Amino acid sequence: MNFIRTEIDDVIIMEPKVHGDKRGYFIETFRADELEEFLGYKINFCQDNESKSSKGVIRGLHYQLPPFAQTKLVRVIQGKVLDVAVDIRKNSPTFGKHVSVELSFENKRQLLVPRGFAHAFVVLENDTIFAYKVDNYYSPECDRGILFNDEALNIDWILNINELNLSEKDKIQPKLAETNDLFEYGVNLYE
């Protein structure tokens, strides 16, 4: 597994080694030992999630508050997305900044989105299957979000606004400046 730090150090691109021949391919999509050695701390994934979406669907920007904050390890099984992680740790040097990474069946890349970040993706191909691991269970009481097109975030979703398809919930999320439900930078969110 190849680990690549992005412009926000805590957000990691993971590139598995693909072993392919005329029969197809084989990859290890997750190795706890290698990831934990790279990060220097343990992550205990406890739940796997999967969604199937058509082109133009945006899911996010979502996060959960402590004690149910989540690290996500995301990947695409079929199709293609633009995956986005936004730093929502108050007083972080990268607060309000984001990382955008294309994840696809072809490139097999994964993105590690740590606690303290809001996460979203926009689907770039029909019938895209998106899968991810989380290290904490879903909690409706701790579920929060940020408006996907908040001008302060300046996220380029690649597609035209008339191509986008959002849930009613995601259409009315608050802007980053309007929410008090953020994380403290420098606090260990893994204890």
Catalytic center residues:
62, 132
- Among 130, 33, 156, which Cα is nearest to 75's? 130
Q: What is the 3-state secondary structure (H, E, C) of 13-29?
A: EEECCCEEECCEEECCC
- Can you tell me whether residue 65 is helix, strand or coil? coil
Pairing of strands 12-15, 110-113: antiparallel
Judge contact between 185 and 90, C-beta under 8 A.
yes
Neighbour order of strands in the sheet with 128-134: 2-5, 12-15, 110-113, 72-78, 128-134, 47-53
